[in-house]
Amino acid sequence: MLGRAVVEAATRRGHDVRGHARADLDVTDAEATRQAVAAAQPDAVVNCAAYTDVDGAESDRQRAEAVNARGAGHVAAAAAEIGAFVVHISTDYVFDGSKREPWVESDRVAPLGVYGETKLAGERAVAAADPRHAIVRTAWLFGAGGRNFVDTMLALGAQRDEVCVVTDQVGCPTWTGHLAAALVELAERPGEPGVHHIAGSGSCSWNELALEIFERARIDCRVLPATSDQFPRAAARPAFSVLGTERRDALVLPAWQDGLAAYLATRVAV
């Protein structure tokens, strides 16, 4: 989902882009990754590969670690070998959600589950492998080409008169189209390494996001309030994972509502 958007954004900006789908390149294979990066000789590598099944990771730590931790290190090491700048995508799930104000880059990390733990391990593997790196924590992604909350709500709204959605998880919905453009811009700025928080501006609960989706899509479906306790999941989610930034050079995305409107417009166009 995100990788496709990055390829499109980089192409629009005039870059020579080589995108690798999972079928083309398995980042858990260190040698294959090294060879692919060496063959391309890029100035920058944007690593969008991830194991993103938050609940599945609880019972499949080995696979999550292979992709999110070791795979991330393989990509960064391959980039370092040829002197390329690496942009690595991480997550708001490295935080425990205990704050009630936006999380900034220097805040203490304390993931609640295996997914967050393996993504944090990936951050550390990238930093250790390539000093020329940017780690981008983002959140609540939606866009073309992958499973996401917006598409799920649109499908449910077409089938049901009402849905129950939680009010006690708050974050930053982020359209891949907006994030991809920022990632390409960051890849063009290797003088700004370190951790970056980049997500849709503003925040909302999943319940508020569902309301906005139905209103903008003109779907007549009621959204009822619920709590996370009513929907037990294998993995705990951070209650408050709104991302802020303390960087002076921060890349700021448009409001999450603008991202939602833009994504819905692309769905209508298709």
Beta strands at 194-197 and 174-175: parallel, antiparallel or unpaired: unpaired
Tell whether 167 is covered by a domain: no
Domain membership of residue 247 (yes or no) is: yes
> Which one of 51, 93, 115, 263 is the catalytic residue?
115
For residue 208, tell me if it sits in a domain.
no
How would you label 206-221 residue by residue, b for 16+ Cβ within 10 Å and e otherwise? bbbbbbbbbeebeeeb
Examine residue 113 and state whether it is found in any structural domain, yes or no: yes
Among 244, 260, 253, which Cα is nearest to 208's? 260
Residue 51 annotated in active site: no
Give the pLDDT confidence of 96-125 residue by residue, as tens digits: 999 999 999 999 999 999 999 999 999 999
Domain membership flag for residue 49: yes
Looking at the domain assignment, is residue 232 inside a domain?
no
Output the pLDDT for position 128: 96
- pLDDT per residue over 210-252, tens digit each? 999 999 999 999 999 999 999 889 999 999 999 999 999 899 9
| CATH number reported for the structural domain that contains residue 181 in this entry | 3.40.50.720
Span 141-153, average pLDDT: 94
Beta bridge partners of 195: 135
Q: So what's the pLDDT on residue 76? A: 98
pLDDT tops 80 at residue 269: no
Number of domains in the chain: 1
58 part of a folded domain = yes
Residue 121: which domain range? 2-147+172-202+243-254
* pLDDT of res. 179: 98
Please tell me the distance from the alpha carbon of residue 224 to that of residue 211, in angstroms, as a whole number: 9
Over residues 161-186, the pLDDT tens digits come to 999 999 999 999 999 999 999 999 99
Residue 30: C-alpha distances to residues 56, 78, 83 (Å): 24, 8, 17
212 is a domain residue: no
